[in-house]
Copies of this chain bind each other. A is one copy, B any other.
Amino acid sequence: MTTNDTDAPSRRQRREGHRAPRARQAPVAARQSPWGQLRNPYRPFEILSADAIEAIHAASLHVLETTGISVQSDSVRALCVEKGAEPMADGVRVRFDRALVETAIATAPSSFTIATRNPARTVRVGDGHLVFSTVSGPPNCSDLAGGRRPGSMKDYEDFLRLGQLFNVVHVIGGYPVEPLDVPVPVRHLVGLQSMVTLTDKAPRIYCHNLQRTRDALEIIRIAAGRKPGEIEREPISFAIINTNSPLQLDKAMVEGIVEMARMNQPTVITPFTLAGAMAPVTLIGALAQQNAEALAGIAISQFARPGAPVVYGAFTTNVNMKSGAPAFGTPEYAKAALVSGQLARRYGLPFRSSNINTSNAPDAQAAYESMMATWSAITGGVNFLHQATGWLEGGLTASFEKFVMDVEMLQLFASFLRPEPVDAGSLALDAIAEVGPGGHFFATSHTLERYETAFYAPLLSDWRNFDAWAADGARDATQRAAAIAQQALSEYEQPQLDEAAAEEIAAFVARRTQEGGAPVN
């Protein structure tokens, strides 16, 4: 369109930018991408050969049959031995021979469904589907207005409202921020009550001890409208299980695997294998250890209930060489995620990865580190993207602005995952012939028929020209994200929850609170 090869638009076109309405004035709920589960139509990007994947597989089995793994629960260790694992001299470790592991993991399903009280919120995990979950676990939260602060019930509930409102969030990943103003013994009761009241998306269970797990399951069962005996019928929740690297499955986590499996509820087995600290400094060694720990947890889930739904979780990253502290969203993390996807597919299991970064502020660093993590997850065939919205500061802070930035980035990927059909209509030969050299396509019927839904329309990105943007306050993406988060909270609508169920939950929470809640670990 111009002989000046700046790759830049003409002045005429830029002026038209002025005509852009102030998009953020429309309701956030109306401007966002529609609800719907995503499917990945592309063949995964793979960086290792099949032989290299087999070498990692073989190395991890070698670890499990020689060094073994520490199973820090008498009951679960007994279960392992009953199924054929070999107890070791220290009384805590067990060895799994490779046949035992391969037989056990073979019974795990390649995909499963998590049902919800609102059937529209049901999600499929695996089989080419994608699930995005909210941030979970930070002790702090932050926004531009209030700064960084310890998590409270108010902030906890506001993040749940954002998780409910934004369509690109498919499930609630846990406590988006820890409500530190609620005593620990009853936090899971109050927290789950809020979660199932303020959202109708699949909830996550914490397995810090058996009592909390059972309390949480009971609240979720009532909210889901299931009778006491019905929980085992299908998944209505999920848990994230971290191993205690290197090579330890501690009591709470491993008993959580067994309890969830027995209830036919999914676990996402996720070693946090930090290369250079709790795992070898070589990425491939860290991945071999990750694989050993993940396979052990997955095998135990199948010992407890063959066919129990389980996800291959990956969280291998590297330390900051200057401090020994973890770094997130690094090139090493991206490579580890891609290899992890290859390993998960090697076992025919759903693959979990994460959207993470190391930045202390919701800024450009947070964005490009998140994109390093998320691009590798998406092109690597991720099925369950955890920590997908709001994670900041290496997971120590949940950020309202980052939550909105992540919604935008995930919406970009939702659009990226829309396949491009190649047919007579899309090839547009008639339109090209009709317009001819030097014309334009604005007014062709081919354009007019498709224009309104042709392209992604952003929520956070500001595409107006510089003058229009400057005249409107020259707000950067972080400032605009803060405004969108506030607007979204003002638009939030609480989902339907059966009144009897709500009362039953309230009564249960009251009773369990009177009983003192659950023990503190």
Chain B residues lying within 8 Å of A246, measured Cβ to Cβ, are 432, 435-441
Choice from B6, B320, B437, B460 contacting A138 with Cβ under 8 Å: B6
- Whether A245 lies near B323 (C-beta < 8 A) is no
Q: Min CB distance, A503 to chain B, in Å?
A: 31
Decide yes or no whether A115 CB sits under 8 A from chain B: no
User: Is B368 touching A447 in the complex (CB atoms < 8 A)?
Assistant: no
Asked if A59 is at the interface of the complex by the 8 Å CB criterion, the answer is yes
Binary contact readout A408-437 vs B (1 if CB under 8 angstroms, 0 otherwise): 110011011011111001111101110111
Known: A276-B454, A426-B285. A14 touches B432 (CB 8 A): no
Chain B residues with CB under 8 A of A455: 275-276, 318-321, 327, 330, 332
Task: Answer whether residue A397 sits at the interface, using C-beta atoms and an 8 A cutoff.
Answer: yes
Verify B283–A358 contact, CB threshold 8 A: no
Flag the segment in A193-201, A469-477, A484-492, A504-512 that touches B: A469-477
Q: CA of A363 to CA of B359 in the docked complex: distance in angstroms? A: 14
Contact check, A322 vs B20: say whether CB atoms are below 8 A apart: yes
**Is A396 in contact with B93, judged by CB distance below 8 angstroms?**
no
Closest to A393 in B: B466
A515 located at the interface, meaning its Cβ lies under 8 Å from any Cβ of chain B in the complex: no
The answer to whether A394 and B9 touch across the interface, beta carbons within 8 angstroms, is yes
Check A206–B5 contact: CB distance below 8 A: yes
Task: Tell me how far the C-beta of A426 lies from the nearest C-beta in chain B, rounded to whole angstroms.
Answer: 4
A16 at the interface (CB under 8 A from B): yes
Asked if A48 is at the interface (CB within 8 A of a chain B CB), the reply is yes
- In the complex, the answer to whether B45 meets A454 with C-beta atoms within 8 Å is no
Q: In the assembled complex, how far is the CB of residue A490 from the closest CB belonging to chain B, in whole angstroms?
A: 23
A521 beta carbon closer than 8 Å to chain B: yes
- Closest CB of chain B to A354's CB: distance in Å? 7
Does residue A167 face the partner (Cβ distance < 8 Å to B)?
A: no
Alpha-carbon distance between A455 and B461 when the two chains are bound, in angstroms: 32
7 tightest A-B contacts by CB? A6-B137, A285-B428, A8-B395, A371-B371, A280-B428, A367-B367, A331-B415
Assembled-state Cα–Cα distance A325/B437 (Å): 20
Question: Within the complex, which residue of B280, B318, B441, B463 is in contact with A278, where a contact is CB–CB below 8 Å?
Answer: B441
Does A70 lie within 8 Å of B466, measured CB to CB? no
Residues of B with C-beta under 8 A to A250:
3
| A41-B325 Cα distance, complex, nearest whole Å | 30
**CB <8 Å contact, A62 and B429:** yes
The residue that A245 contacts in the complex, of B1, B62, B393, with Cβ under 8 A, is B1
A5-B174, A281-B447, A364-B481 known; 13 new pairs, CB 8 Å cut-off, are A2-B272, A6-B395, A7-B270, A9-B396, A69-B437, A248-B437, A281-B446, A285-B426, A288-B427, A323-B463, A323-B465, A362-B364, A364-B367
A497 at the interface (CB under 8 A from B): no
Please state if B412 and A285 are interface contacts (CB–CB under 8 Å).
Answer: no
Is residue A38 within 8 Å, beta carbon to beta carbon, of the partner chain? no
Cβ-based interface call for A387 (8 A): yes
Contact A63 B20 (CB under 8 A): no
Q: How far is the CB of A409 from chain B (nearest CB, A)?
A: 5
Q: Which residues of B contact A409 (CB under 8 A)?
A: 368
